[in-house]
Amino acid sequence: MMTSQAANYAKVLFSLGLSEDSINKSKETLLGSRELSLVLENPSIKRKEKEAVIDDIFEKDIRNFLKVLCLHQQITFINRIFSEYDKLVLESKKIIRAKLSYVTKPEETELEQIKSMLCNKYKKTGVILELFEDTSLIGGYVLTVANTEYDKSIKGTLKEMQKALVRR
């Protein structure tokens, strides 16, 4: 249930049309200070005191949003809200996020080919490709996009062969 609430708050934040710079500064401030989070999350601290802290620290354009989160005791979920907001921003820019796990890092030309393939397949204009070394794959790679996994690793091939042999 909280995920849908976080998504709804993220939609509201996105619809406010605030600058990405302002959002990013607020994100860094909130996620970078555990003490600040504890103050804004603490139900025993009065609303006016929390609002004064918000007014002192944050840019004017995002203050009311943060005050509403505090009022409804949702500031605890700010990390999820920012995460959902980031997804909306990428979606609006037609950018997709993908994860590539590998044993041997692909060359730049191979990475560009993967990005191009993903842009074409998912009808996007750009790709943010996160790279992770994973020696347990033995060889090859695993490409994860949204909820789809493309396993072209030796480890994955061995698992598939094992399943096929078990079915016989």
Q: What is the pLDDT of residues 100-113, one digit of tens each?
A: 999 999 999 999 99
Calculate the average pLDDT of the chain.
94
CA–CA separation, 126 and 98 (whole Å)? 11
With a cut of 80, say whether residue 23 has pLDDT above it. yes
- Give residue-wise pLDDT tens across range 110-156: 999 999 999 999 999 999 999 999 999 999 999 999 889 999 999 99
List CB contacts of 4: < 8 A, sequence separation 6 or more: none
Q: Tokens 């695993």 — which residue?
A: 142
Q: Which residue has the higher pLDDT, 1 or 67?
A: 67
Return the exposure string of 131-144: e unless at least 16 CB atoms fall within 10 Å of the residue's CB, then b: eeeeeebeebbbbb
Q: Tokens 């025993």 — which residue?
A: 44
Instruction: Give the confidence band of 168 by pLDDT, cuts at 50, 70, 90.
Output: confident
**Backbone phi, then psi, for 140, in 5-degree steps?**
80, -150
With a cut of 50, say whether residue 43 has pLDDT above it. yes
The pLDDT value given to residue 2: 57
CA–CA separation, 160 and 162 (whole Å)? 5
The pLDDT value given to residue 167: 83
Nearest to 53 by CA among 64, 43, 39: 39
CA–CA separation, 111 and 120 (whole Å)? 14
% pLDDT > 70, the chain: 99
With a cut of 70, say whether residue 94 has pLDDT above it. yes
Q: Tokens 């909130």 — which residue?
A: 30
The predicted model scores a pTM of 0.81
